[in-house]
Every structure is written in structure tokens, then in C-alpha cells.
């Protein structure tokens, strides 16, 4: 009988090192709630909990299918500290494997992406086929109870939605589209998988991954931090969308005199991507999809951010831009105006996120309050707080204040002042 393990060793799931009572102040109505307790941005045990239970516990976005289209084409991905290979097999199937040799555990593939006919461990040269099967290694013929068929690469679940590749290390998450919920119908009129990457930037940000998503969820900071963005999509012209699923969705309106988010505000001759309605053409959609994907759909391009948490105070971010291949084929195609705009905007965001990371470490800091236009931040924080509490209670959506218009906010402030005066 072989004693080879059939599944990778998994750390036991354990209770969150933060209690329901500690996040109770966040699980209130927005106008009464406190932001998340500061230690969730710094505590190593909380970070480990998030990686073991959330990132290794369900679907996580890792890249684009276009980077593994041909047989043997692969890319590496990091999920909860695990080094994963995503590769297209000779049979056309996209698979994911732990990048760990079954012999004495060396990492097998060192190049971040490429094409390989098979994988050969650099240590003692064990060879694995693209479907993970181990070929009979040298000098193993005499081993007792050793069947190479049982010593292939350890596989993880791999799924694709709209050209985006997801992995599920737990093996027991619901089907990918079930997990994504209403993310799927929200983008059903588009074929985002048909778009192609025109470029990407990698950033190493000294901030907690949750701080980056919170930052993405509000435009309260836009007038001061992003004057260029605020000129094209003013911070108070947006709405968040109803949701049912692991995401927070919203849109910002593009002012009539502009076409898209770029340095010039123009789309450089690019039409809207296929599937856009007239309404879509004047909007930028922002979706934060649990746990690590930011999906920003502009009239003429898609932008994706992948967040890879490395430590409580460090997150690697890849930001990539995708366009209609028909536009990319034209001699006149030049995406630099859009890419440079967002590179500038990204850096502006990382800077304030790093400031938040530094300040929330202070002994003087206690959890602050949400402004009336940070409802989506509260929405994301509730996803976090409910998961820490793990008490079966999903904080109801009506606790999240609807993004109020300026006029409604003024009315509300006036009536509150009146009632205070009457007290
Ligand atoms: S560790 Fe891979 S062949 Fe020895
Ligand atoms: Fe921002």
C-alpha cells in the first residue's frame, strides 16, 4: 500500500483572533458605525487567519487566461503564500498545480511565465507532464510501494470567468459562478475575455491589503488626492449598485465634455468596447470582488488590479490594462494616455494608503468614523467584520447608508441640527 499523501497538508481552520464584540461597532448602520479596529491592519495573527481561511479558503483571482492559451503556456501565481503554476495542457485544459516537487520539495518552475513542454525539477530532474503526471524518475524502479502515478503534482481547482483565472486551494468552494453571484449578470453584456492586455505595472505597497480596497471604494479623497481624476469624474457624481454576492459595485459618471479616464480625458479615437450601452459609455464601473480583485471598466478599456498580500503591512499589486484587439491592431493605437493616467492615480492612492498604514499603528489612534460618502467602504468593511465574527450573522444591507446626493445630505444635516436644537 502506498502511503503517499493524496492532498496537500492544510493548516487547521481556527477561530479569528478577533472577536465579534471587537467588530460590533463596525456592524452598525453607517451613520453610527466605527471603521475597522486598527489592529486588523497590523496584527500578524489576523493576517495569518485571513490567508489561511479566506485566501486559501475559496476562490481567489490570479491572472488572465490569455497568458496561458497555448499548450505548455504557463504563469506563476502566489495565493496565501503558496507558489502555484497555472498551465494549459496538451489536451487544452487549464490546470493549476502547487509549484512543489514531490521528491524533496524543491520549487520546480522559477520563471514567472513562459512555455514549457513539461516541467523538470532543477534539483534531481524529476519530470512532470503538463497534466501533472510524474514520469518514472531515475533510480526509483526498485522502490517498494512507489507508484509514479500517485506522485504527480498536487492540483488545485482552477476556474475562468470573463477571461479571469481563479484558483480555489480549499477544493470545497461553491462553483466559481455561484461564488461570484451577481458579479456575473452585471457583466454579462460584455466579453471581457476577448480583450487583450496592452500593458501592466507592478507595485510594492507598504500597506495592508484591506486598506487598498477601502481606498478603492470611495472618492471622498478624490478632490485632494486625485485632482486630475476628479476633473473628469467628480467625486460626488456616482452611485453604488445593489449587490448580491461577494463584491461591492459602484460607478462614477464621466462629465459630458470628456470621453474616458486618461490624461487628456479623451479616448484617442477608441470607440466604446463591444457591449457598451449609451449609459455605460458615460460611466466608469468599479467592482471590488472578494477578496483581491479590483475590476474597473471604462468606456474603452478594462483595468484590473490584483492584490497579493505579503505581510500585514505589505501588498504586491499588479495593475493591467485591456483593450479591444480590433483597436490594438490599428497603427494608430496608443494606450499610453490611459495607462499613464492610472499609473499616476495608482501612485497617489498608494501614498495615502501608506500614510494610513503608518498612522493606524499609533497608540493614539482609535477606530474613526465613516463620512456620509463612504458607504461602500463600510460595505467592504462589513464583509470583513462579518467574516471575523463568523457568528452566522450577515449584517443586513439596510445598515449601509445609501450614497446620498449633496442636496439630501444638506437636508439631513439641517433636520439633524433642528432636532438637536430642539433637544
Ligand atoms: S527535489 Fe525535485 S527532483 Fe529532487
Ligand atoms: Fe484613489
DSSP letter for 240, please.
Answer: E
> Domain residues for 350?
181-366
Same domain, 165 and 206: no
The pairing of beta strand 247-253 with beta strand 155-161 = unpaired
Which protein residue has the closest C-alpha to ligand 1 atom 3? Answer: 124
Same domain, 337 and 194: yes
Domain with 77 in it: what CATH number? 2.102.10.10
Q: Give me the mean pLDDT over the 296-301 stretch.
A: 98
Same domain, 166 and 202: no
pLDDT tens digits for range 85-94: 999 999 999 9
On average, the pLDDT of the chain sits at 93
Choose the residue to mutate in 98, 106, 137 for probing ligand 1, maximizing ligand atoms within 8 Å of C-beta.
106
Distance 137 CA to ligand 1 centre (A): 10
Same domain, 279 and 145: no
Q: Give me the mean pLDDT over the 405-419 stretch.
A: 63
pLDDT given at position 47? 97
Distance between CA 423 and CA 419 in Å, rounded?
A: 6
Of the candidates 161, 177, 193, which is a domain's last residue? Answer: 177
Residue 38 inside a domain? The answer is no
Distance between CA 308 and CA 340 in Å, rounded?
A: 22
Same domain, 281 and 264: yes
Distance 334 CA to ligand 2 centre (A): 24
Same domain, 142 and 213: no
Q: Which of 4-18, 26-40, 56-70, 103-117 has the lowest mean pLDDT?
A: 4-18
Same domain, 355 and 248: yes
- Which residues, including other chains, have CB under 8 Å from residue 319's CB and lie 6 or more apart? 200, 201, 203, 303, 304, 305, 342, 343, 346
Beta bridge partners, 74, equal: 87, 114
pLDDT band at 410 (very low <50, low <70, confident <90, very high): low
Share above pLDDT 70 across residues of the chain, in percent, rounded to a whole number? 91
pLDDT given at position 15? 76
Q: Give me the mean pLDDT over the 60-67 stretch.
A: 98
Least Cα distance to 313 among 368, 355, 344 occurs for 355
pLDDT given at position 376? 92
pLDDT given at position 243? 76
Whether 101 lines ligand 1, by a CB cut-off of 6 Å, is: yes
Rounded (5°) CA angle 307-233-236:
95
Q: What is the pTM of this model?
A: 0.93
- Which residues, including other chains, have CB under 8 Å from residue 195's CB and lie 6 or more apart? 163, 273, 301, 302, 322, 323, 324, 325
Distance between CA 378 and CA 372 in Å, rounded?
A: 10
By the 8 A CB rule, do 154 and 7 touch? yes
pLDDT given at position 8? 45
Distance between CA 404 and CA 120 in Å, rounded?
A: 58
Distance 236 CA to ligand 2 centre (A): 13
Amino acid at each position: 500500500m502506498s502511503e503517499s499523501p493524496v492532498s496537500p497538508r492544510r493548516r487547521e481552520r481556527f477561530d479569528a483572533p478577533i472577536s465579534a464584540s471587537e467588530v460590533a461597532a463596525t456592524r452598525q448602520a453607517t451613520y453610527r458605525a466605527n471603521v475597522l479596529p486598527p489592529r486588523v491592519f497590523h496584527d500578524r495573527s489576523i493576517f495569518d487567519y485571513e490567508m489561511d481561511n479566506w485566501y486559501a479558503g475559496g476562490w481567489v483571482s490570479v491572472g488572465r487566461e490569455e497568458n496561458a492559451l497555448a499548450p505548455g503556456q504557463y504563469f506563476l501565481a502566489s495565493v496565501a503564500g503558496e507558489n502555484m503554476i497555472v498551465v494549459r495542457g496538451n489536451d487544452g485544459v487549464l490546470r493549476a498545480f502547487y509549484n512543489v516537487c514531490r521528491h524533496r520539495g524543491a520549487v520546480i518552475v522559477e520563471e514567472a511565465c513562459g512555455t514549457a513542454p513539461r516541467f523538470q525539477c532543477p534539483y534531481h530532474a524529476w519530470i512532470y507532464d503538463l497534466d501533472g503526471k510524474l514520469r518514472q524518475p531515475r533510480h526509483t524502479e526498485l522502490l517498494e510501494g512507489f507508484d509514479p502515478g500517485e506522485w504527480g503534482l498536487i492540483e488545485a481547482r482552477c476556474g475562468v470567468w470573463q477571461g479571469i483565472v481563479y484558483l480555489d486551494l480549499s477544493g470545497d468552494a461553491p462553483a466559481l459562478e455561484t461564488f461570484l453571484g451577481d458579479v456575473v449578470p452585471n457583466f454579462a453584456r460584455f466579453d471581457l475575455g476577448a480583450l487583450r492586455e496592452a500593458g501592466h505595472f507592478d507595485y510594492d505597497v507598504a500597506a495592508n491589503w484591506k486598506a487598498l480596497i477601502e481606498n478603492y471604494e470611495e472618492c471622498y479623497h478624490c478632490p485632494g488626492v486625485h485632482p486630475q481624476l476628479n476633473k473628469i469624474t467628480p467625486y460626488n457624481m456616482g452611485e453604488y449598485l445593489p449587490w448580491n454576492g461577494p463584491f461591492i459595485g459602484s460607478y462614477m459618471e464621466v462629465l459630458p465634455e470628456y470621453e474616458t479616464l486618461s490624461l487628456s480625458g479623451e479616448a484617442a479615437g477608441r470607440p466604446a468596447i463591444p457591449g457598451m450601452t449609451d449609459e455605460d459609455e458615460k460611466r466608469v464601473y468599479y467592482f471590488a470582488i472578494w477578496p483581491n480583485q479590483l475590476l474597473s471598466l471604462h468606456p474603452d478599456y478594462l483595468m484590473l488590479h490584483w492584490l497579493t498580500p505579503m505581510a500585514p503591512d505589505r501588498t504586491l499589486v499588479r495593475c493591467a490594462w485591456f483593450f479591444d484587439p480590433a483597436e490594438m491592431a490599428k497603427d494608430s493605437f496608443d494606450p499610453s494616455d490611459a495607462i499613464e493616467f492610472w499609473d499616476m492615480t495608482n501612485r497617489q492612492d498608494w501614498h495615502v494608503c501608506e500614510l494610513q498604514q503608518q498612522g493606524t499603528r499609533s497608540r493614539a489612534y482609535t477606530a474613526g468614523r465613516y463620512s456620509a460618502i463612504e458607504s461602500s467602504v463600510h460595505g467592504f468593511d462589513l464583509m470583513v467584520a462579518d467574516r471575523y465574527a463568523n457568528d452566522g450573522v450577515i449584517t443586513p444591507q439596510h445598515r449601509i447608508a445609501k450614497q446620498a446626493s449633496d442636496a439630501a445630505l444638506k437636508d439631513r444635516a439641517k433636520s439633524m441640527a433642528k432636532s438637536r436644537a430642539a433637544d
